[in-house]
Amino acid sequence: MTRHCITVCLLAATFAAAGVSHASAQDGPFVETMVELSPVQIGGYETTWRVGRLGAGVQKERFGWNGGVERHQRGGLVDWTTQTGGFQRLGDWTWDASAAYSNDPVFLYRRSLEGGLSRRVGGGLVVRGAYRHLEFPSTTVRIIEPGASLYFSRGEIGAQGFIVRNQLSAQRSSVALVRSALDLSRHVSVSGGVAIGARIFDVNTFGRGSHDAWQAFGSMKVRTAAHWTLELLAGGAHEDPLFTQQTIATRLRWTF
């Protein structure tokens, strides 16, 4: 049983990046690996989704870049995708962009393009607007992403919206995400968030119903040595009427 990955791709990306806070970040070039395991139940059918990632990049205070290769497995089906993205701060403005490509995908997008623009409007308040374009073999999905974050000395709190339109079905859905991150010390930070909405997991195939959905996640990041950072993540999700998912993941980064 396969499912397109639409809004959930955005939330998974947020989930994977949760806990990134300025005080605990290590600047410089890096390489990283990530492994994610998600038991999934769709009605009476049970399976496991697996993701493995190998990536590299550079992170500085005013700019950053990353790229990587990911292997996604759902049951006996496997998709591969390559991804790259970056950001740059210019005074009170910050732009960011990302792109990804999957060759002959079964359940992932074929192409993904995203661009965003942020501005600091006063104190620690930053507002952001972004647009994402996803091309699947059978449809195109467009997503508008408004958001805002409030930064303080030891972390941040933010909210983000996802307004989604599926071209094939002409359906619209929306998701709201609230997240926060806190530096407990120079070496440890924690983060978490909750998303609620409809059709987070795209799924005309889930049958009739409201398709009300939620997703919750949390992470802990530990800088274990001068160059090593270990991140542990966990989360869960449900979409009416049939879909339930739990997720655990770990990411290890070495900074030059």
Q: What is the pLDDT along the chain (256 residues), one digit of tens a residue?
A: 444 444 444 444 444 444 334 444 568 899 999 999 999 998 888 999 999 999 999 998 899 999 999 999 998 899 999 999 999 999 999 999 999 999 999 988 999 999 999 999 988 999 999 999 999 888 888 999 999 999 998 999 999 999 988 877 666 788 999 999 999 998 999 999 999 988 777 544 444 556 788 999 999 999 887 789 999 999 999 988 788 999 999 999 999 8
Question: What SS3 state is found at 92?
Answer: coil
b vs e for 79-109, b when ≥16 Cβ sit within 10 Å of the residue's Cβ?
A: bebebebebebeeeebebebebbbeebebbb
CB 130 within 8 A of CB 114: yes
Q: Hey, which CATH number is domain 7-255, 3.90.1150.110, 2.40.160.60, 3.20.20.70, 3.20.20.140?
A: 2.40.160.60
CA 54 to chain centroid: 16
Question: What SS3 state is found at 102?
Answer: strand
Q: Give pLDDT, residue 241.
A: 79
- The Cα 230–Cα 219 span in angstroms is 10
Q: Is the peptide bond before 137 cis (omega within 30 degrees of 0)?
A: no
- The Cα 142–Cα 167 span in angstroms is 8
Q: Domain boundaries in the chain?
A: 7-255
